[in-house]
Amino acid sequence: MSSSARTDAPVLEVTDLRKYFPIRTGVLSRTTGHVKAVDGVSFAIRSGETFALVGESGCGKSTTGRTILRLTGATGGSIRYNGEDVLGASGERMRHLRKAMQIVFQDPYSALNPRMTVGAAITEILKVHGIATGVEARQRVEEVLVRCGLEAYHSWRYPHEFSGGQRQRVVIARALALDPQFIVADEPISALDVSIQSQIINLLEELQDSLQLTYLFISHDLSVVRHMADRVGVMYLGKLVEVAEKAEFYREPLHPYSQALLSAIPVSDPAIRKKRIILKGDVPSPANPPSGCPFHTRCPVAMDVCRTVVPALKPTASGRQVACHKVHPVS
C-alpha cells in the first residue's frame, strides 16, 4: 500500500481478546477444561495498512481472525471497528458491519459451493445484503470478477471448472462484492502452487492500492509476510509475543521466538551464512499451557522468573512491543 493512503487512525482495535474452547468429557459432557486458543491478544490496525499475524500452526492466528469477524464467538475482550463495538453489535447491526469486514479463506476448494456457479454464489451475497438484484447484480458480479483477473463469462462456470489460482481469485472477488474496507486474509496462498502464489499476492497488493483496503494478513510464511506486511505481530500459544514495524522486525527481532522463526528463512545467497536456532521440544498444548511465560519450556535463554511470571506485552525504547523478561520496556 502506498504510504500516502495510510493514516494513523486505527480501523480495528482489539483489546484483551480471548477465545476458549471447552473440553467436554464423560457421558454428561461436562466441561473439564478449556483450550485457550486466543488468550489476551491486543493490537490495533491503522487505516490502509497490512498487519500480519505470524506463528506456528495452532498458535491461534486463524482463530483470532475468525473471532474478530464474529464467525466464532469470543470468550472475552473487546473488538472495535471504526470505534464501533463489534462484540456487542446486534444481529442487524452485525449484518451491516459484515459489508465492511470480509474474509478470504485459506482453501478455495472448500470455500465455494460446488453446486452453484460462481456468479450465483456472489449474487446470493448481494441479495442477502440488499445491495443489488437482477441485471444490476449480474453487472456487479462481472465487474468484481474482471477486477480480480478473470473474465465476465466465468460467472457461468462452476468451481470445479477453475484451477486453484482461479478459485482463489473467485473467493477474493466474492469478498470484494460488498465493497469492504477491511479484509482478513487467512493464509490466502498456502493451498496454492508456488508458481501461482506470487500472482495472488500481487493481486492483493493491487486491490489494496486501488481500493484503499486494510488487511489482517495471517500467514506462517515469513518470506511472504516480508513482502506484504507493514507491521508484524508474532503469536505463540494464543498470545502475542512481539509487535513491530516490518523493517525493524526483520532487521533485529527481539523476542527469542521471533529470532528462531527468522533464522529458519532460507537465504538465496550462498555467501550469507545464518546461525539456525533450533528450538527444543514441541509446542505445549493450549489445553494445558505452562506456567509463567508460555515460551519458557523451549526458550534457549529462559531465566527462573520466566517459569513463574507471565511477561506483559510492553513497549520498548524502539517503539515495538515485546513480551519478554530479558527485553527492558520503556520505564
User: Does residue 53 lie in a domain region?
Assistant: yes
Instruction: Burial-class residue 151 by CB neighbours within 10 Å (0-12, 13-18, 19+).
Output: exposed
Three-state SS for 205?
A: helix
Q: What is the pLDDT of residue 81?
A: 97
pLDDT digits over 307-327, tens only? 999 999 999 888 899 999 998
Q: What is the pLDDT of residue 4?
A: 45
Three-state SS for 19?
A: strand
Q: Do the beta carbons of residue 282 and residue 56 sit within 8 Å? A: no
- Per-residue confidence band for 270, with pLDDT thresholds at 50, 70 and 90: low
For residue 186, the enclosing domain spans 3-115+158-322
User: Does residue 124 lie in a domain region?
Assistant: no
Cα distance between residue 184 and residue 217, in whole Å: 6
pLDDT digits over 162-198, tens only? 999 999 999 999 999 999 999 999 999 988 888 899 9
Phi, psi of 263 (to 5 degrees): -70, -15
User: Does residue 227 lie in a domain region?
Assistant: yes
| Per-residue pLDDT at 2 exceeds 70 | no
CATH code at position 58: 3.40.50.300
Three-state SS for 277?
A: coil
Query: How many degrees, rounded to 5, is the angle at CA 159 between CA 158 and CA 164?
Result: 145
User: Does residue 254 lie in a domain region?
Assistant: yes
213's CB contacts (< 8 A; 6+ apart) are 1, 48, 180, 181, 182, 183, 207
User: Does residue 152 lie in a domain region?
Assistant: no
User: Does residue 253 lie in a domain region?
Assistant: yes
**Whole-number percent of the chain with pLDDT over 70:** 95
| Per-residue pLDDT at 125 exceeds 50 | yes
Q: Decide the pairing of beta strands 101-104 and 182-186.
A: parallel
User: Does residue 327 lie in a domain region?
Assistant: no
* Mean per-residue pLDDT, 111-140: 92
Q: What's the chain's Rg over C-alpha atoms?
A: 21
Q: What is the pLDDT of residue 308?
A: 94
User: Does residue 165 lie in a domain region?
Assistant: yes
The amino acid that residue 317 corresponds to is A
**Whole-number percent of the chain with pLDDT over 90:** 74
What's the domain count of the chain? 1
